[in-house]
Amino acid sequence: MRYIVEIEPGMYEQVRRGLRALGIRIVREIPPYWISIDIPPQLAERVEALPGVVRVSRERVFRIAAFIPVEKKLAQLYGLLVNPLTAPMALMRSAQLDKGKYYWVTSESRKALGAGEADKLGIQGEGVKVAILDTGIDPTVEDLLGTPSESTMEIQPIPIDLNGHGTHVASTACGRGAWDPHGKLLGVAPRASVFGIKCLGLGIGTGSTSDIVEAILKAWQRGAKIINMSLGSDIQPGERHDEEADPICRAIRLVARDGVVVIVASGNSGEGYASTPGICSDAITVGAIDVEGKIADFSSRKHPDYVDRRKPEVVAPGVNIHATTATGSLIDVMQFFDGIRRACISGSSMAAPHVTGIIALWVEYLRKHGVEPDVNMVKDIIRRYGKSWDPVLGHGVPEFSWVVNYYEEVLK
Question: Which residue in 218, 204, 212 sits closest to 247, CA to CA?
Answer: 212
N residues, the chain: 412
Please say if 180 is a catalytic residue.
no
Question: Which residue in 354, 288, 344 sits closest to 130, CA to CA?
Answer: 354
Please say if 349 is a catalytic residue.
yes
Q: Which of 94, 134, 266, 322 is catalytic?
A: 134
Please say if 305 is a catalytic residue.
no
Residues 6 or more apart in contact with residue 335 via CB below 8 angstroms: 94, 97, 98, 101, 343, 344
| Cβ neighbourhood burial of 319 (10 Å; 0-12, 13-18, 19+) | buried
Residues 6 or more apart in contact with residue 380 via CB below 8 angstroms: 406
Strands (E), 74-148: 104-105, 129-134
Question: Which residue in 362, 386, 350 sits closest to 117, CA to CA?
Answer: 362
SS (H, E, C) 230-248: CEEEEECCCCCCCHHHCHH
Q: Which of 165, 241, 303, 322 is catalytic?
A: 165
Q: Which of 234, 299, 349, 354 is catalytic?
A: 349
| Pairing, β 301-302 against β 321-324 | unpaired
Known catalytic residues are 134, 165, 349
